[in-house]
A and B are shown apart, each in its own frame.
Chain A
Amino acid sequence: MPEYMPSLSVERLCIDVGGGESRRRVVDELSFALYPGRTLGIAGESGSGKSLTSLAIMGLLPKAASVPSGAILFDHRDLLSLPEGERQALRGKRIGMIFQEPMTSLNPLLTVGQQLAETLRRHEALSRSEVRQRCRAVLDAVRMPQVDKRLAQYPHELSGGMRQRVMIAMAMLCQPEVLIADEPTTALDVTIQAQILELMRELQQQFNTSLLLITHDMGVVAEMADQVVVMNQGRMEERGTLQQVFTAPQATYTRKLLAAVPVLGSAPAPAVLGEQPVVLGVKDLSVRFALRHGWFERPRTVHAVEGVSFDLHLGETLGLVGESGCGKSSTGKALMNMLAYQGSVKLLGQELNGLQGTALQRVRRDVQMVFQDPYAALNPRKSVFDLVGEPLLIHDRMAEPERRERVAQLLQQVDLPRDALERYPHQFSGGQRQRICIARALALNPKVIIADESVSALDVSVQAQVLELLERLRAEHRLSYLFISHDMAVVERICHRVAVMYGGRIVEIGPRDKVLHNPQHPYTQRLLAAVPVPKVGHRRDFKKLLKELERPDPIKQAGFVAPPQQFAAVAADHWVALE
């Protein structure tokens, strides 16, 4: 088989959604070809039609979608004209697919073994022992530790990364010629992402699979793809080799997209703040959750945050980075007094721990929060005026005309038009909603804003704008930010100092450039080594990341006292935890 024969080609594919009046074209005249052993990346922001394209190839389009024209050629046949029975026989056998959300993509009621075996039995006539053997082999291929145990486990007993390995194993069971991966690593932590990407590379080489990789992350594209298709609002903006698209992009949209992507190691040096007073002083902060226990069991607690200390200075942005479950969000919530905690948090010298009632309410106006999901953070039944004005009503009992004036002023500050006042959240895009959230946080002139993954849910171009806005507001209002994020490149863009959390503790803290460019703690090094860089010729070897780091178990017997942490100064203000 010559390498030049495409294994799958999409020709002038159009997809419509809806019927009658509301019919809309969501994919328009899309063409590309997949070659054996090669990877094609489809990159684009939300609403670009990239996921629908993959579902069209699988024949899994939702009922509301239709394909008015185009062809998907596979093995000399047009998939679109095949009867459903034949398509079923191809799915999972010759075309496999991996989905975005490993937490919900496996049936919770069946064991991993049952779900794997089911695929195999559907497509191949094998004996029970052969099925088991093949399942074990494929789990071995995705480097699943303790294969026999895993086969008998249910999905909820596995971590996100392990579940995604199961998904890949399931898709690779019958060694398909084409593997479609729709945002396979978006929901995963960066080191897990690196592991999954590495596994996909290995499997592709081993089986000479064509990989169609759909992602919004230009870093992942640069790490994986040979060919790139850039999509925007259903249209193909650009198609070319990775080299062409990244070094000499033709379409304006591609250029804009690439310019908006934060690249780790490219941010300009942060402005020098000079000596500034401490706004928020955190000392030995610990957050614990008691676990439910039976009559005869000893009580246990989850040590979510364990002895965290840092200072946040006036006008400074401190980045708090780490993987999911490291305690960074619990830290943020404790600072807001939304969780019970031990230790001391001082705002401008005033102790916050133990505050209650009106004293707590008075302090709350100085510490505000911007959350991750702008879709869930705004009450859909309230107008923007009510949402942004509510803090003013609660804290200042401000009269209506005055409040209206103040809200309009706040909206202006976050670059929203005045007529947004009377509108409702669903009438805004994700980026605009996040601006509304920021306006709400600003309403009471806080001193500190805690931004918990505030730009993670946004598309890159919108993300860049919101980051700019945050930066401008910080300078104008002398705000201090605690910027909680898992995205190193974003942190590099906006933060003055960075603290790295792992297992509930800070393992490294210091000025941004020292921590990100000269990491000292092995965990920080590992984290940074896993970040995919959206540049050609920077392809990283993730092999060494395949080995799992030993994670400290956060569940401890009640009364457990963690040994105090020792820090060593590496450079001025740069501290690293000693093991």
Chain B
Amino acid sequence: MLPFICRRVAYALLILLGVTFITYLLLFLLPADPARQIAGRSATPEVVAAIRAQLGLNQPFYQQYLGYLGHLLQGDLGRSYIQRTSVSELIGARLRPSLELMGAGIGCELLIGISLGMFAALRRDSVADKLLMAFSFVGVSAPQFIAAMLFLYFFAVQLGWFPLGGYGGISHLALPALTLGLLGSGWYSRMVRSSMIEVLHQDFIRTARAKGLSRARVIFVHVLPNAIVPVIPMIGIDIGVFMGGLVVVESVFGWPGIGQLAWQSIQQIDIPVIVGVTTLSAVAIVLGNLLADLVIPLVDPRIDIKQH
């Protein structure tokens, strides 16, 4: 167990190193100039040059990057160019709302995805199955910003069921979480459906029925746990896609989270914040995958992490 986690953490550090490097490099190659952005349109070239020197942007790439890494090792994510505070403070203030939305969103996603997938598998090839799969296809392919706008318009503006946006209690959380859940559930419902159809044909399901168990017990005790196993690693991988959705949904719903922060900092070319948020999502993805790997053996005793 311990060697497994140690090895995974070592890999994770390598991944994070790669992520910061690539982000930094891409931002360096970007034709946009943060110094000009800060100085404003009417600034003289001297002012822009002074800002550039002050931020260390005139140094060669490797020096900038190594400097950043050095600070990162001390836990310092740098300072925002625009907001004049440290990046860790900016992120820290927005971490909680984002985690709330993420938790609720993933919860909705799994709840909707698994139940629809189950329903479709049990009614295989029926009209309901085909409609559900068509719906999941729409969910998978719909652009998030359009779906988010539509939901906001219908449920908040027209029907008035939910507040128009902003941060608050459950009522504020519900609509963005549902949006994320509905959009993300498509993958899960398709996966659960195919995995469940496969499990339904397994010999041990026949055995369970031959024991005289009720249909509900066969489905919930024998079919579902087996069908869920391949979905668990999917959740870990999906966190990356989910972070992308978070950026859009938080911006549309005015949710004061990391996604919104990312959106703003990209617009302002606030490089330390962009790199910080990217590093944080990489941490989230790595953690999500580690968690999924640790949870699987609890569900499936055949998987022994000691052998990996």
Q: Which residues of A contact B (CB under 8 A)?
A: 58, 60, 88-93, 96-97, 99, 101, 104-110, 118-119, 122-123, 154, 156, 167, 170-171, 292, 294-296
Contacting residues, chain B, for A154 (C-beta < 8 A): 301-302
A108→B300 CA distance, assembly (Å): 8
State which of A92, A108, A292, A295 has its C-beta within 8 Å of the C-beta of B212. A92
B12 to chain A, nearest CB (A): 17
A296→B7 CA distance, assembly (Å): 13
A173 to chain B, nearest CB (A): 9
Pick from B127-135, B155-163, B167-175, B202-210 the stretch touching chain A. Answer: B202-210
Contacting residues, chain A, for B214 (C-beta < 8 A): 88, 122
Pick from B104-112, B220-228, B264-272, B282-290 the stretch touching chain A. Answer: B220-228
Contact, CB under 8 Å: A60 / B300:
no
B3 on the interface (CB 8 Å rule)?
yes
Contacting residues, chain A, for B300 (C-beta < 8 A): 108-109
Contact, CB under 8 Å: A109 / B209:
no
State which of B203, B217, B299 has its C-beta within 8 Å of the C-beta of A104. B203
Contact, CB under 8 Å: A105 / B212:
no
Q: A60-B206, A109-B300, A118-B217 are in contact. List 11 more A-B contacts (CB 8 A).
A: A88-B213, A88-B214, A92-B211, A96-B210, A104-B202, A108-B226, A110-B222, A122-B214, A154-B302, A295-B3, A296-B3
A90→B209 CA distance, assembly (Å): 11
Contact, CB under 8 Å: B209 / A122:
no
A296→B206 CA distance, assembly (Å): 43
**6 A–B contacts from the bound complex (CB under 8 Å):** A60-B206, A90-B212, A99-B210, A101-B203, A104-B202, A167-B207
Contact, CB under 8 Å: A60 / B210:
yes
Contacting residues, chain B, for A96 (C-beta < 8 A): 210
A171→B212 CA distance, assembly (Å): 11
Contacting residues, chain A, for B299 (C-beta < 8 A): 109
Tell me the nearest residue of chain B to A157, going by C-beta: B301
A291 to chain B, nearest CB (A): 9
Contacting residues, chain B, for A97 (C-beta < 8 A): 210
State which of A58, A60, A105 has its C-beta within 8 Å of the C-beta of B204. A105
Contacting residues, chain B, for A90 (C-beta < 8 A): 212
A20→B208 CA distance, assembly (Å): 31
State which of B203, B226, B229 has its C-beta within 8 Å of the C-beta of A105. B203
Question: Chain B contact residues (Cβ within 8 angstroms of A): what range?
Answer: 20 to 34
Tell me the nearest residue of chain B to A116, going by C-beta: B211
B84 on the interface (CB 8 Å rule)?
no
B41 on the interface (CB 8 Å rule)?
no
Contact, CB under 8 Å: B302 / A99:
no
Contacting residues, chain B, for A58 (C-beta < 8 A): 210
A143 to chain B, nearest CB (A): 21
A90→B211 CA distance, assembly (Å): 9
Contact, CB under 8 Å: B226 / A122:
no
- If the complex has contacts A99-B203, A108-B226, A109-B225, are A122 and B301 also in contact, measured as CB distance less than 8 A? no
A135 to chain B, nearest CB (A): 13
Q: Which residues of B contact A (CB under 8 A)?
A: 3, 202-204, 206-214, 217, 221-222, 225-226, 229, 299-302, 306-307
Contacting residues, chain A, for B211 (C-beta < 8 A): 91-92, 118-119, 122, 170
A110→B301 CA distance, assembly (Å): 8
Tell me the nearest residue of chain A to B223, going by C-beta: A107
Contacting residues, chain B, for A292 (C-beta < 8 A): 307
Tell me the nearest residue of chain A to B300, going by C-beta: A109
- If the complex has contacts A91-B212, A292-B307, are A109 and B207 also in contact, measured as CB distance less than 8 A? no
A292→B3 CA distance, assembly (Å): 14
Contact, CB under 8 Å: A108 / B210:
no
A385 to chain B, nearest CB (A): 34
Contacting residues, chain B, for A109 (C-beta < 8 A): 225-226, 229, 299-301
Contacting residues, chain A, for B226 (C-beta < 8 A): 107-109
Contact, CB under 8 Å: A123 / B210:
no
Contacting residues, chain A, for B209 (C-beta < 8 A): 60, 91
Contact, CB under 8 Å: B210 / A91:
yes
Contact, CB under 8 Å: A108 / B206:
no
A58→B210 CA distance, assembly (Å): 7
Tell me the nearest residue of chain B to A123, going by C-beta: B212
A296→B214 CA distance, assembly (Å): 48
Contact, CB under 8 Å: A92 / B225:
no
A168→B188 CA distance, assembly (Å): 37
Contact, CB under 8 Å: B302 / A107:
no
A344→B3 CA distance, assembly (Å): 40
Contacting residues, chain B, for A295 (C-beta < 8 A): 3
The 7 A-B residue pairs with the shortest CB-CB distance in the complex, in nearest-first order: A92-B212, A91-B212, A92-B211, A104-B203, A119-B211, A105-B203, A154-B301
A20→B307 CA distance, assembly (Å): 52
Contacting residues, chain A, for B208 (C-beta < 8 A): 107
- If the complex has contacts A92-B212, A122-B212, A123-B212, are A108 and B207 also in contact, measured as CB distance less than 8 A? no
Contact, CB under 8 Å: A105 / B206:
yes
Tell me the nearest residue of chain A to B222, going by C-beta: A107
A171→B307 CA distance, assembly (Å): 35
Tell me the nearest residue of chain B to A88, going by C-beta: B212
Contact, CB under 8 Å: B207 / A105:
yes
Contacting residues, chain B, for A167 (C-beta < 8 A): 207
Contacting residues, chain B, for A99 (C-beta < 8 A): 203, 206-207, 210
Contacting residues, chain A, for B212 (C-beta < 8 A): 88-93, 119, 122-123
B87 to chain A, nearest CB (A): 36
A225 to chain B, nearest CB (A): 22
A104→B202 CA distance, assembly (Å): 7
A277→B39 CA distance, assembly (Å): 94
A119→B222 CA distance, assembly (Å): 13
Contact, CB under 8 Å: A118 / B213:
yes
Tell me the nearest residue of chain B to A102, going by C-beta: B203
Residue picked from A96, A107, A170, A296, most chain B C-beta under 10 Å = A107
Contacting residues, chain B, for A119 (C-beta < 8 A): 211-213
Tell me the nearest residue of chain A to B201, going by C-beta: A62
Contact, CB under 8 Å: A118 / B221:
yes
Contact, CB under 8 Å: B213 / A106:
no
A88→B216 CA distance, assembly (Å): 12
